[in-house]
Amino acid sequence: MTAHCPLPNKNAGGGGQLAIGQKLIQLSALASLWLFNFNSLAQKDSTRFINPVVINTEVDTIHRISVITSPVPHFILDEVILQKLGVTDVGSAFRFIPGVQLKDYGGIGGIKTVSFRSLGANHTGVVLDGIKIPNVQSGAINLSPFEIFGVSQISFSSGQIEEYNAPASAYLNANSISIQSKLTEKPDKLKIQLYSNLTSISTFEEGFLVRVPVSKKVFFGVQGFTKFGDGDYQFKVEESGSATKLRRENSSLFSYKLRAVTGVELNNSKTIFSATYYNNEQELPGAMILYNPSNDQKMWNEDWRFAITHDQKIQNWKLNANAFYQSSWMRYYDPDFLNLQGYIDNAYLQHNGGGGFILKRSVLKNRAFVFGGSDLIFSDLKSGSDFNPNRMENNSVVGAHLLIGKLLLESNVTLQAVRDRIEVSDSITEKNFLEASPFVSLCWMPFKNKPLRFRAFYKRAFTLPTFNDLYYNLIGNTNLKPEKAHQFNAGFSFSGLTKKVYYEFSVDAFYNLIDDKIIAIPTKDLFNWSMQNIGKLNVYGYDVGLLLNYSTGDWKMTANGSYSYNLSLDVTNPESSTYQKQIPYTPFHSGTAGLAVGYKKTSLNVN
């Protein structure tokens, strides 16, 4: 569902100098999404948008991350960029996106979650090849198991997801992550890739990827990946004024993943069948306690996922349909926990299944398109306790994109109807939620011959309480309300080209207001807590991005930088010591920088 502010025509900003060099750079991260979603617009009036050019992504996408023509903060990292950044999983890649805070904990196979502009990880949805991944137990999706090997592109957007194949449920989230894998792309010939990676802390990764064109219309692919190692390393501990060397213990990991995909491409349609199996066994290192640095906690995971997606185009109509089933098993074991049993051994089994569609149609002589869709999802959680809840949710969206001259308007409204049901002994308790959330954005390019764009958006978003929040042993609160967030964003971007230098510059200011924040507070003692809606947060800040690309002869140099300022104030209780103070784990200042120097086909990259 990608849409962007119109680009200047071929004679803008310097006449003949705005030639193929600038267009290669501007189009390299955007062209595939733009040409698919605005194909009808481009055919109707191609001179207002993008003239077809040959795209060389290997040369022209060095460190280019931000999509400056988007009406919302939108970032794309394709395969070339991911290789140059030197990351191994999806979670680590988001370190380079301004405004994102990555939480990484639990050793070499540790959980990785992201929050954006102080909106928690529960406000960030994850879409894999057109299927939104659910997690009703904790709400947050762990990004650590999603390796970079085999990924063609990942993207991040705030306000509205900007991917053409996004399901209706993805429009609910305040922030969205989309992952596109190579297995869903039809190869022109047999392609085999091998992958190997090792680190200085005794960790190893191995993988293979095979893609086969079975016929002109059918293709098949299979991928395997494993990660294993001890994850141990030496570190110093200050003790009585002297440094003692210890070795990190209880960090070993062994995990593997297998995925198979079959695709069928006809003249106007594409159908993808996929099956994924993931198995993980790991030790959890825990905190280093003086005189007792060891830890004996362990965790096991076993996941199955089956999915089918279908894309169909008939004249001015486009249909995206999907269905999926997912089973997730997790076991956590702590042999030294101080309770009556003297240990913890908990197992959880989560089932998710559902499907839905989105239908789009171009209108007003291809100057706009409208869309609408709905998903139906069922989830349940079994934990061996008295609480075994299930959730039925219907997520729907209607929206429109309208281009009038130099102004692009995007808008949608989502509706989420949820029924939570829990059986305890012979009684059945039901809890219902019904929430509607609007989104609207504007993007304006005031000067025909100047690539200056202004953008702004507003979105109301909310996240439902998780099963842990509602029902977890002793602390759950079945009366919790959804956590609500109001997002405001305003900014501008500018790009240009001289004889040897291409440059981009963007600034976005934001304000987030979070109500009914779900937090845990102690009750009668430190061992009995309760989940309650008492939190309130005001978030202010701005993001700045800069890109410079210089080329002369066989030499190329690209410099990329970003800076974020984030003021996240707790305004829950004026009597609290934390009132008007910065919330934990949120930096006031953060930034990224990258430099790439290339000569012909060789390049040196520093991040």
Which of the two residues, 286 and 211, has the higher pLDDT score? 211
Please give the pLDDT value at position 40. Answer: 34
Q: What is the mean pLDDT of residues 142-167?
A: 90
pTM (predicted TM-score): 0.84
Rounded distance, CA 160 to CA 72, Å? Answer: 7
Which of the two residues, 607 and 216, has the higher pLDDT score? 216
Please give the pLDDT value at position 295. Answer: 76
Rounded distance, CA 519 to CA 122, Å? Answer: 13
Please give the pLDDT value at position 27. Answer: 33
Q: How far is CA 247 from the centre of its chain?
A: 34
Pair type for strands 390-404 and 368-382: antiparallel
- Report the mean per-residue pLDDT for the chain: 83
Q: Is 75 exposed, middle or buried (0-12, 13-18, 19+ CB in 10 A)?
A: buried
Where is average pLDDT lowest: 57-71, 116-130, 436-450, 545-559?
57-71
Q: What is the mean pLDDT of residues 517-542?
A: 74
Please give the pLDDT value at position 293. Answer: 62
Percentage of residues in the chain having pLDDT higher than 90: 41
Confidence of residue 2 (pLDDT cuts 50, 70, 90): low
Q: Token pair for residue 146?
A: 């999603």
Q: What is the mean pLDDT of residues 397-417?
A: 92
pLDDT in tens, 416-470: 999 989 877 778 888 888 999 999 999 998 887 788 899 999 999 988 888 888 8
Q: How far is CA 403 from the centre of its chain?
A: 27
Please give the pLDDT value at position 294. Answer: 67
Please give the pLDDT value at position 52. Answer: 36
Please give the pLDDT value at position 341. Answer: 83
Confidence of residue 25 (pLDDT cuts 50, 70, 90): very low
Per DSSP, 72 falls in state S
Confidence of residue 475 (pLDDT cuts 50, 70, 90): low
Q: What is the mean pLDDT of residues 282-288?
A: 78
Place of tokens 């039809």: 186
Which of the two residues, 525 and 376, has the higher pLDDT score? 376
Q: Which amino acid is at 282?
A: Q
Q: What is the mean pLDDT of residues 480-494?
A: 91
pLDDT in tens, 237-268: 776 566 677 777 778 899 999 999 999 999 89
pLDDT in tens, 545-599: 898 999 888 999 989 888 999 999 989 889 888 899 998 878 899 988 888 898 9
Q: Token pair for residue 56?
A: 């060389």
21 contacts 551 by C-beta, under 8 angstroms? yes
Confidence of residue 105 (pLDDT cuts 50, 70, 90): confident
Confidence of residue 539 (pLDDT cuts 50, 70, 90): very high
Q: Is the pLDDT reported for residue 63 higher than 60?
A: no
> What residue spans of 9-70 are helical by DSSP H?
20-27, 31-37, 39-44, 57-60
Place of tokens 């039925």: 392
Please give the pLDDT value at position 64. Answer: 64
Q: Is the pLDDT reported for residue 129 higher than 70?
A: yes
311 contacts 319 by C-beta, under 8 angstroms? yes
Q: What is the mean pLDDT of residues 7-32?
A: 38
Q: What angle do CA 545, 491, 38 make, to 5 degrees?
A: 90
Q: Is the pLDDT reported for residue 17 higher than 70?
A: no
Q: What is the mean pLDDT of residues 195-207?
A: 89
Q: What is the mean pLDDT of residues 23-33?
A: 33
Nearest to 331 by CA among 384, 286, 287, 293: 384
Confidence of residue 10 (pLDDT cuts 50, 70, 90): very low
Integer-rounded Cα Rg, in Å, for the chain is 25
N-to-C CA span, the chain: 31
Confidence of residue 528 (pLDDT cuts 50, 70, 90): low
- State which H helix or E strand residue 82 sits in: helix 79-85
Which residues does residue 244 pair with via DSSP β-bridges, in sequence order?
237
What's 232-264 look like in SS3?
A: CCEEEEEECCEEEEEECCCCCEEEEEEEEEEEE
Rounded distance, CA 431 to CA 571, Å? Answer: 29
Q: Is the pLDDT reported for residue 9 higher than 80?
A: no
Please give the pLDDT value at position 288. Answer: 66
